[in-house]
């Protein structure tokens, strides 16, 4: 089947990244894209007793196949935006924002989980759309004009949004099914 572009960067969450990588690679060529073609450091988030926020620890390393500026979006069927802290920094990358706009404007399937919504918000492509994300990113979505829905999976047209890594299975099942139809 087609090519899927998977966005990575330092601080991307391990599960948010690896589940789509392996699940979608069953039927598609998954190409990992980052700000540069290099090795990136993924992180793990977990809850620690006594902490009000998640604790972040180093996870796997993952090589990108291509830099955002070198991607020809016409060569890709879909886009995946993992969570973690990476989107907080990646949302300033103009090449990535242009790619994101291309996928949304052309009705290509886009999957976003957790902080991935920050890239969609920065690209200004979720105005008036139903989305979900982790509760602490709700303001990012609403400030960008989206309609926040407190559900594990929200599908609005070709946009597939998920909140938490524990909800990856239904998210990727729905996204993979959509890809098989395009």
DSSP secondary structure letter of residue 36:
S
Q: What's the pLDDT tens digit per position in 66-119?
A: 999 999 999 999 999 999 999 999 999 999 999 999 999 999 999 999 999 999
Domain locations in the chain as residue ranges: 3-181
For the entire predicted model, the pTM comes to: 0.96
Task: Express each pLDDT in 114-147 by its tens digit.
Answer: 999 999 999 999 999 999 999 999 999 999 999 9
φ, ψ dihedrals at 166, nearest 5°: -70, -10
Q: Write out the two tokens for 62.
A: 């993952």
Burial 25-39 (b: 16+ CB within 10 A, else e): eeebebebbbbeeee
Q: What angle do CA 79, 81, 83 make, to 5 degrees?
A: 165
99 backbone dihedrals φ, ψ, rounded to 5°: -60, -45
d(CA 48, CA 85): 18
* pLDDT of amino acid 52: 84
Note the CATH architecture for domain 3-181: 3-Layer(aba) Sandwich (3.40)
Q: Which residues does the annotation mark as catalytic?
A: 115
- Residue labelled with tokens 């998920």: 162
């Amino acid at each position: 089947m087609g090519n899927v572009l998977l966005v990575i960067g330092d601080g991307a969450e391990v599960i948010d990244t690896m589940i789509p990588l392996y699940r979608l690679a069953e039927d598609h060529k998954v190409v990992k894209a980052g700000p540069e073609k290099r090795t990136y450091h993924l992180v793990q988030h977990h809850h620690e007793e006594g902490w009000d926020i998640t604790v972040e620890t180093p996870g796997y390393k993952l090589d990108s196949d291509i830099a955002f500026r070198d991607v020809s979006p016409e060569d890709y069927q879909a886009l995946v935006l993992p969570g973690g802290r990476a989107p907080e920094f990646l949302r300033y990358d103009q090449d990535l924002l242009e790619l994101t706009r291309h996928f949304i404007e052309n009705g290509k399937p886009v999957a976003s989980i957790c902080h991935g919504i920050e890239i969609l918000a920065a690209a200004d492509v979720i105005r008036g759309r139903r989305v979900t994300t982790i509760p602490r990113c709700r303001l990012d979505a609403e400030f960008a004009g989206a309609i926040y829905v407190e559900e594990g999976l929200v599908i609005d047209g070709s946009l597939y949004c998920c909140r938490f890594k524990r909800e990856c299975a239904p998210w990727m099942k729905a996204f993979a099914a959509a890809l098989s139809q395009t």
